Structure 1
Amino acid sequence: MPRYEFRCKACGDTFELSRPMDRANDPARCPHGHDDTVKLLSTVAVGGTAADPAPGGGCCGGGCCAGG
């Protein structure tokens, strides 16, 4: 289940809630009982595949060290 991050406008507390995607924009109550909250934009980056090589390694990313 996705996790969404919220910030309370009343106390400034930031908190996370797990909820289904179809409820992502539902209002959220902060742990201190305040109702004036906003959903924060997620900055999670997703991309690539498990088969992609890890970046870096050797000189010039490992490409120039290959060969004879």
Structure 2
Amino acid sequence: MAIYEFYCPTCREKFEQRRPMSSAGEPATCARGHRAERVLSMFAVPKGAAVAEAPAGGCCGGGGCACASAN
């Protein structure tokens, strides 16, 4: 089971729904029965949290992508 976020444009509210990943693309309705749209979830990182350093060779750990050239 995964948690998905939805937005109801009629009510202008976001809500979460738990459903199997196989049902991720199915339509959802809000508590009032309006059609809701699935939205991308935002993940929070606490302010001041330490950020891990990228391994040598870039974030992919070996320079196999453009990330290595950005450093």
The normalised TM-score by structure 1 is 0.59
CA 1:55–1:16: 2 relative to 1, 3 Å: same
Structure with greater contact order relative to length (CA < 8 Å, sep ≥ 6): 1
Q: How many residues align?
A: 47
The normalised TM-score by structure 2 is 0.56
RMSD: 2.1
* The structure with more radius of gyration: 1
- Please tell me whether residue 7 in structure 1 is matched to residue 7 in structure 2: yes
**Partner of 2:31 in structure 1?**
31
Identify the structure with the greater strand proportion. Answer: 2
Question: Which stretches of structure 1, 4 residues or more, deviate above 2 A after TM superposition?
Answer: none
